Amino acid sequence: MKTLLKVTLAAGIFALAAAPAHAEQGDWLFRLRAINVVPDEGADITPIGGGVDIDTSVMPELDISYFFTDHIAAELILGVTPHDVTATGTALGDVDLGDVTLLPPTLTLQYHFNPDGQISPYVGAGVNYTIFFDEDLPGGSPLTSIDYEESFGGALQAGVDYRLNERWFLNADLKKVWINTDVTIDAGGLGLVEADVDINPWIFGLGFGYRY
């Protein structure tokens, strides 16, 4: 399943890169959004039990869309989001796991309901591939190291473009992205702690777009 998702994502990125700049039935659309990433988190932590709390993050997001037809488009969504992570209610109490940054490029295939109108709603579905980096344990932590495994998952999207003129648009967008990672924590003398963590954020975005 992971191989299939990786091939699908790679093929979509290749299709965006290889698409002609001036297609007869297509357009490029570039959007810049401010996004609020709200994790819908949960965890299974062994052997100390407990759950997880992951804070929200507000960051910029860039996306690039290519319209194969007036109604059908592929969108590549790019952005990074830092989060503070805490293991809660464990046998050791609440444990500060520091912070980590997520890079979750997401590719969706969209249907635009009213592409020539001033108001054009759309829906989309696709896949995401999430890389975790800059893991940073808090100073003085008894933990020695923490590692997050990369993630493949699905994505759903709904939004609307509001046409200001032939080139410029306002945009509102909502995404649900499924992100699951296996986390390995070296707790020093306490040994290894394993966690199966669901992040599964809701992503709310507002911004503007430029059609080329």
CATH of the domain at 123: 2.40.160.20
Q: What is the pLDDT of residue 166?
A: 86
What are the average pLDDT values for consecutive 10-residue runs of the chain, which has 212 residues?
A: 46 49 63 97 93 96 94 95 95 92 96 94 97 91 92 97 93 97 89 94 96 89
**115 contacts: CB under 8 Å, gap ≥ 6:** 67, 70, 71
Rounded-to-integer distance, Cα 181 and Cα 132, Å: 9
Rounded-to-integer distance, Cα 131 and Cα 194, Å: 18
Q: What is the pLDDT of residue 3?
A: 47
Query: Shortest CA distance to 65 belongs to which of 19, 9, 97?
Result: 19
Q: What is the pLDDT of residue 212?
A: 87
Expressed as residue numbers, the domain containing 113 is 2-211
When divided into structural domains, the chain yields a total of 1
Rounded-to-integer distance, Cα 25 and Cα 71, Å: 10
Q: What are the residue ranges of helices labelled H in 37-182?
A: none
Query: Shortest CA distance to 107 belongs to which of 72, 151, 63, 149?
Result: 63
Q: What is the pLDDT of residue 125?
A: 98
Query: Shortest CA distance to 73 belongs to which of 121, 1, 4?
Result: 121
